[in-house]
A and B are shown apart, each in its own frame.
Chain A
Amino acid sequence: DVKVTQSSRYLVKRTGEKVFLECVQDMDHENMFWYRQDPGLGLRLIYFSYDVKMKEKGDIPEGYSVSREKKERFSLILESASTNQTSMYLCASRGQGTIYGYTFGSGTRLTVV
């Protein structure tokens, strides 16, 4: 029973391309998050959203933007992809009052060449 779905498992893009990573959750969660995961650096928060059309910068927002037009969907946008954005991208969601932290999607491994 998959609850957080990321549209692509693997992506290869060229430097300078505009890249969209999509995440959809079916749990009616208010909060959604985008992380990237790199060896030795762990999960680092890029952006998060606590409501439709609301967004907050995380720890490493540079080079990224996000969009949340509907409650169930949270998109991560790489405006002009660069090789240092090659990484595993993980989307997560969490409902208000939930003590169990996040539910993660299965991740998108993005390679920028």
Chain B
Amino acid sequence: GQNIDQPTEMTATEGAIVQINCTYQTSGFNGLFWYQQHAGEAPTFLSYNVLDGLEEKGRFSSFLSRSKGYSYLLLKELQMKDSASYLCAVRDPPFTGGGNKLTFGTGTQLKVEL
């Protein structure tokens, strides 16, 4: 099975940088995803890491260390619209049908303040 941990809540200031951590213990690993979810809306894809290292995409970056079971999402130049829940999810290795299901952490609620 999968066990994924991330902080429940974080608060940061507009314009600042925030790092949201995610640790996982898994019986198999086939990639790690970060999703953003605004209140009352569906999760939307932010980033994907399958190899160790940093993936940068505009103001958002995601890092993975497979040996440590650790990832983080880095948000730069925070904006008020970044206030949302950030979900870490680990993909299982393919089963016979190739479904590659995702197991999600409970999410980190980020509040951006002025």
Contacts and interface: CB of A to CB of B under 8 A. Distances in A.
Given A43-B87, A106-B41, A48 B104 contact: no
A110 to B, nearest CB: 14
Contacts of A106: 41-42
Interface of B: 31, 33, 35, 41-45, 48, 50, 87, 89, 91, 95, 97-107
Contact of A101 (B89, B98, B107): B89
Contacts of A33: 101-102
Interface residues of A, number: 30
A100 B100 contact: no
B21 to A, nearest CB: 16
Contacts of A100: 45, 48
Contacts of A50: 97-99
A107 B42 contact: yes
B101 A58 contact: yes
Contacts of A105: 42
